[in-house]
Amino acid sequence: MRHRLLALVLFTGCAPATFTFTPTSSVTSLPDNCPVEVVTSMPPEKNYQELGTLEFYSGTEPKTLDAFKKAVRDKVCTAGGNGAIATDNGTGKYTQGIVIKILPGTAKPLKPIKELPTQSQDTEKPPGT
């Protein structure tokens, strides 16, 4: 009996992360293998519609965005989303998120200035030089 209990504890410690999904708007599912983009910035630099929230449920909490994406991909697609905003819980683990649908005509990030404008040269010399 102890061996079975120990095996169960070890197995659940290595279980993949699962999340629950709570919709905040109507859901139209996409195929399970739909492309999903995961970001951490809030709000993302793109136009989007919020579809619902994700809460960590069981397994091992994701520590990387790739692990979070793998854990939530099916939920995001089932919810009709094509993206998620991941939230770090303060200990380096992603335990919450928002399912989003990135809308066409997304805003583009601002481009950095490549070269600063040159200032006109002052040819006047200070007094006493």
pLDDT at 111 over 70: no
Over residues 1-5, mean pLDDT: 44
Domains: count for the chain: 1
Please give the residue range of the domain that contains residue 55.
23-102
Query: Whose structure tokens read 């809030």?
Result: 42
Question: Is residue 7, in this structure, part of any structural domain at all?
Answer: no
CA angle 104, 20, 90 (to 5 degrees): 85
What is the structure's pLDDT at 16? Answer: 83
Question: Is residue 64, in this structure, part of any structural domain at all?
Answer: yes
Query: Whose structure tokens read 């109507």?
Result: 26
Per-residue pLDDT reduced to its tens digit, 62-92? 999 999 999 999 999 999 999 999 999 999 9
d(CA 50, CA 19): 17
CATH number of the domain encompassing residue 46:
3.30.1660
